[in-house]
Structures are given as C-alpha cells and as structure tokens.
Structure 1
Amino acid sequence: MKLISYTKEGKAGFGAVTADNQVIELTDKITGVDCLATLVGSEAMMGKAEDYVATASASLGLDSVTLEPVIPQPSKIICVGINYVAHAAEAGRKVGQYPVIFQRFADTLQAADAPIIRPIVSHEFDFEAELAVVIGKGGGHIAPEDAMSHVAGYTCFNDSSVRDWQFHTHQYGMGKTFRKTGSLGPWMVTADEIADYRELEIKGLLNGALMQQGSLSELAFDIPHLISYVSQALDWNPGDILATGTPSGIGFKRTPPIFLKPGDVYEVVISQIGTLSNPVADEA
C-alpha cells in the first residue's frame, strides 16, 4: 500500500493511494485507529487496513487533498550523517566506528509540494536527498537480526540544511532544526512492497538537473544496524522516522557552492517509492 496523511476542508485524514491517484479514505474506518502513526504500530490494524483497501472504492482524488508530512507529528526524527562513503569523502570525513546521529523536530517538516523555507539569517541553504524509514512496531534493545520487523515502510526525505549554522559548533544540529526546512513524503510505501531496500536507487534533482545519486546498498551503516543502535538508548515508537543519510553531490561541497534559492524546485526520487518535490521560498 501507499499511505498518506492529508487535510481536506480543514479536517485531518489518512488513507491509501490507488494506482490511478485516487484516495481510499481510512479515517474512522478502523476502530481504535485515529492517525497513520497509530495504524502502522499494529500489525493487526495494518492487516485490517489492507483488507479494507482491497474491497473499498476510492472517494477522493489525490489532487483534491492537501498532503501533510507522511507522519505529521512523529515523536522523534533520528537522522544519520556521513552514511555514504562517497559523501564522507566529499565532506573530508571518514566513516567511523559508530554512526553519526543527530535529531530533527516535527515542526521542521513540510509536506510534498509545500515550500521549504530559506531562513532570514542565512542563504547557505543546501539540499540532501534521503530515504526515510517509518517505524511500525516500537521497542528498545532491538537485535539487528530482528530490526526489519520494526519497519512499517519507506518514504522520501529532504534533509535541507542551513550550512553556516550547522558548523557554528562541532554539534551541528542547529543547522538541521530550522522551521519548515525539511520535507517528508509524498507517501509511505509499506515494507511488504519493497523486497530488498538495498536495491533502491536515490536521486536528487535541482530544477531538473541531477545533483545527487546513490544506491541504498552503499550505506556504511545499514538499516538494521541503525535501528538496533538507536534502540540501545531510546525506545522506538510507532511512526518515528529514521533518515538514513544522503549520497554525494551536496551543494556546499561543489565548486562554486550551489545553494537553494527562492523559485528553485528540489526533487528526491527513489525507485519503487516515488518523487518528493518541493519549491523553495524565502522566510517571510
């Protein structure tokens, strides 16, 4: 299934997207499920959703709803830096013994097609195409061999970064936590639709020009390792987001640097999943 969160006439909803871009509404259809994060946290409820979608008719056009980030309010967004060897090389870094972990907040996220915002205080606004994992079953102290059973699905993520603020100190989280700078969507493809995430190919395009390209087989720390590693410190919750890192080609390491500006459009394209597209606008 392809699952979305959306608003329609000011009311929040969630549903499944059909092959012809129609929406089968799931809001209020499954007892005890009030949002997509709740749905993905239960295998039984996901099974009921699949059964419902298999027989229900679409009632909305995808173009008639306003998309929200796939999970509008994840309890945490865990991001991984320097997780492609080629990206580490362009950044002048080496992949270490442990993954580089930082965090985002839910209010930094925008939906597909919504503008990502270049902040007033910096014009060094950069792009980062990534695969994001949506956690289903929660838990802590997860063994790597069990980690994939905690994956509900996959979506596209643009971890757009404010580079000068990122490097104000050696803790570079501030460059990742500006309001409305990241984007997540347009939908989540459920894990059963992806036979092997390592076969996924990722691209980042700026105004149609290829900037970034990589394969998920190139991750220095794979998804099971990352889920397990983080779970030693924090319990994963249903709907949490794990952003797996960006391939090489980022803007600030180019000569001359390329930064996002108002009027640009950046697209994250991942095979078997789809395209996350966002225009760029200046902060008001």
Structure 2
Amino acid sequence: MKLVSYKIKGTPGPLRMGFSLDDKGKIVDLQETWRQMQLNRQDRDSVDVTETSFPSNPDQFFAGGNRLIKQAMDVMAFAAANNIDDNGYNRDDVYLATPVSSPSKIICVGKNYAAHAAEMQSDVPDYPVLFAKFANALVGPEDMIEKPDFVRKLDYEAELTVVIGKEASNIKREEALDYIAGYTIGNDSSARDLQKRTPQWLQGKTLDRSTPIGPWVVTADEVGDPGQLSINAYVNGEVRQAATTEQLIFDVPFLIEFISSLITLKPGDLIMTGTPDGVGMGMDPQQFLKDGDHVTVEIDKIGQMANKVKELKS
C-alpha cells in the first residue's frame, strides 16, 4: 500500500492522508474511504468519531503506528473491491507533501556502505555512525531542494528510509522488522563545505528545506526484505549512484536493534539508512549541485522521487 500526504492543488486547508493503488493512479482520500467502509458495515458509532479513531492528519496517522496501518490496509481492500479509486483525484490535480512532516526523531546513518566510506577517504566504521536531522530540513517529492547561495558544495545522497510503526526499545534484530510501518525514499542533501569545517556534521546536514522525503510510504508487507533493494541516483539524467541495500554494512534489523538500545523509537520516527558510493564529493573532479539541477532517486519496490535544486539569494 502506498500512503501519501496530499492536498488538492490551489485549495487552502490542511494536508490529508491518502493512498494510491499504483504509481500513476488516482489519489484516494484515506479517511473518507474508511468512513464509507464503516457505513457499509453499518457501524455508525465509528463514523461519529472518525477524526479521533482514524485521523486524516498525516502526522497523527503515522503516530498511530502499525495499528492504523493495519486499518488502512483494510480500507485499501475495501476500495479495491468496490472501485472506490474511480472517485479519487487525478494525480495531476494533487500536491504530494513529505509523508511524515514532523517526526519526533530523524536518525541518519553515515558511512554505511563500504564503497562510500572509501570514496570519502574514511575507514569502515566498527559501529553505526549516527547523526540527526530536524523536521525543518524536510521537503516533499514535488518541492525544491533549497540551496543557500553561501553553500558551495551541496551534495546528493540516495537513501532507503525506514518509518517506525511501533514503539521500540531494546529490540532484538530477529524482531526488528515487526516494528516497521513502511519505507520511503530519502535524499540526504549535504552541504559538504559546512559539514566538514567542524568534527560534528550537523550544520551541513539539516539546512532548511534541503532533504526530500517521499513520494509515499510503501507498507512493509509490500517491500518484504529491505536488504534486497536496488538504489539509484541520477543528476540531470546521468547515473551517479547504483547499488543495492545488500551492500549495507549495518542492515536495517541491526540498525533498529542498535538504535533502540540507545534511544526509544516512536511511531513515525525516520531512520535514513545511509548512502552508497557515487556522491559528488567522491568524484574526480568533484561535482556538486547547482541551481536548476534535477536529482532523481529510485528504490526498488518503492518508486522514484525527483526534485529540482533552487538557489536562494541572500
């Protein structure tokens, strides 16, 4: 199931939860379809407390975790059986936002592919290299990557991104996948000149509106093994990164075990699992993003996300 955060173009109002049955199909409102399903079941008591029991707000929905994900799957099955998608919105008529706009935590993993560590002239780490982003950095699949004009070395980083579905503390790797709501695509845009001027990376990693996430969250059941996915990045149509998540040094179950031993993960939290080799800083000569560049990231079983770089004049 592909879960989206959307609004009708040109209209005011808050973002709402929706879903798409395929990459190019109509966007169907999730809460409204849930309401129709409850009416079909003659469950009027549930309909009367719709916003409480099945929120339309994307952040509230993902904070509900796997309980609401399971209900959403029931809604999708109802929609498919009753041709509800015929009443959805055409893809061109909706704006897709980042699926989770205000996670309590965005935990990123550095140097998690050996070839990327090598191109950055770094040793393979013994433990996961963790750093944080904040929600101010997030933009959606249709938004610009904003580049302040004082940033000279803006880089791209294609990353499989995990959305947590259940509170997780001291979780064993054998159980880790049960705590995942789904997966999405991340582009960990990095201002290398800011990142490298101090030992701590934060200032180069969480600039305002610099990190696209999207275009949707694909539920864990559709992705299956997160360690068998191709991951690619293109800049202006040129292949820059091409790898598979099988090459992760620390795979997704290990990361959840490791992180949850340090930090309690909450539903809606994001884990950006690291980027493969092929980043601009690792090229010879180095190639960084410029105003007007197009960055496309593709991950198997999730889809594609494309964003344009926009330089901001100070």
Q: What TM-score, normalized to structure 2?
A: 0.87
For 1:17, the equivalent position in structure 2 comes to: 20
CA distance in 2 between counterparts of 1:71 and 1:110 reads: 10
For 2:145, the equivalent position in structure 1 comes to: 116
Question: 208, 217, 227: which is aligned to 2:237?
Answer: 208
Residue 48 of structure 1 deviates from its aligned partner by 2.1
Residues 35-44 or 178-187, more deviating: 35-44
Which one has a bigger Cα radius of gyration?
2
Residues 214-223 or 14-23, more deviating: 14-23
CA RMSD, 1 decimal: 1.5
For 1:230, the equivalent position in structure 2 comes to: 259
Question: 271, 274, 278: which is aligned to 1:249?
Answer: 278
Q: How does 1:139-178 map to 2 (within 5 A)?
A: 139-178=168-207
Residue 33 of structure 1 deviates from its aligned partner by 2.9
Q: In the alignment, residue 73 of structure 2 is paired with which amino acid?
A: E
Does 2:23 match 1:26? no
Structure with greater helix share of residues: 2
Secondary structure in 1 matching 2:3: strand
Secondary structure in 2 matching 1:197: coil
Q: In the alignment, residue 241 of structure 2 is paired with which amino acid?
A: Q
Residue 37 of structure 1 deviates from its aligned partner by 4.2
CA distance in 1 between counterparts of 2:285 and 2:70 reads: 51
Residue 251 of structure 1 deviates from its aligned partner by 0.3
Q: 1:22 to 1:165 in 2, by over 3 A?
A: same
Q: How does 1:177-216 map to 2 (within 5 A)?
A: 177-216=206-245
Secondary structure in 1 matching 2:227: helix
Is the 1:36–1:239 contact (alpha carbons within 8 Å) kept by the matching residues of 2?
A: no
Q: How does 1:263-274 map to 2 (within 5 A)?
A: 263-274=292-303
Is the 1:38–1:238 contact (alpha carbons within 8 Å) kept by the matching residues of 2?
A: no
For 2:6, the equivalent position in structure 1 comes to: 6
Residue 36 of structure 1 deviates from its aligned partner by 3.5
CA distance in 2 between counterparts of 1:45 and 1:124 reads: 41
For 1:221, the equivalent position in structure 2 comes to: 250
Structure 1: 5+ residue stretches without partners: none
Q: 1:6 to 1:94 in 2, by over 3 A?
A: same
Residue 7 of structure 1 deviates from its aligned partner by 2.3
Q: In the alignment, residue 295 of structure 2 is paired with which amino acid?
A: Y
Residues 180-189 or 2-11, more deviating: 2-11
For 1:64, the equivalent position in structure 2 comes to: 93
Q: For 1:156-210, what per-residue CA distance to the aligned partner results, in whole angstroms no more than 9, with x for missing partners? A: 1000100010011111111001111110000111100012111100000000100
Q: What TM-score, normalized to structure 1?
A: 0.96
Is the 2:106–2:269 contact (alpha carbons within 8 Å) kept by the matching residues of 1?
A: yes
Q: In the alignment, residue 33 of structure 1 is paired with which amino acid?
A: F
Is the 2:115–2:276 contact (alpha carbons within 8 Å) kept by the matching residues of 1?
A: yes
Residue 211 of structure 1 deviates from its aligned partner by 0.4
Is the 2:69–2:181 contact (alpha carbons within 8 Å) kept by the matching residues of 1?
A: no
Is the 1:2–1:18 contact (alpha carbons within 8 Å) kept by the matching residues of 2?
A: yes
Q: In the alignment, residue 28 of structure 2 is paired with which amino acid?
A: I
CA distance in 2 between counterparts of 1:187 and 1:95 reads: 32
Residue 62 of structure 1 deviates from its aligned partner by 2.1
Residue 72 of structure 1 deviates from its aligned partner by 1.3
Q: For 1:211-253, what per-residue CA distance to the aligned partner results, in whole angstroms no more than 9, with x for missing partners? A: 0111100000011111121112221111111000000011012
Question: 56, 73, 82: which is aligned to 1:50?
Answer: 73
CA distance in 2 between counterparts of 1:133 and 1:37 reads: 15
Structure 2: 5+ residue stretches without partners: 36-49
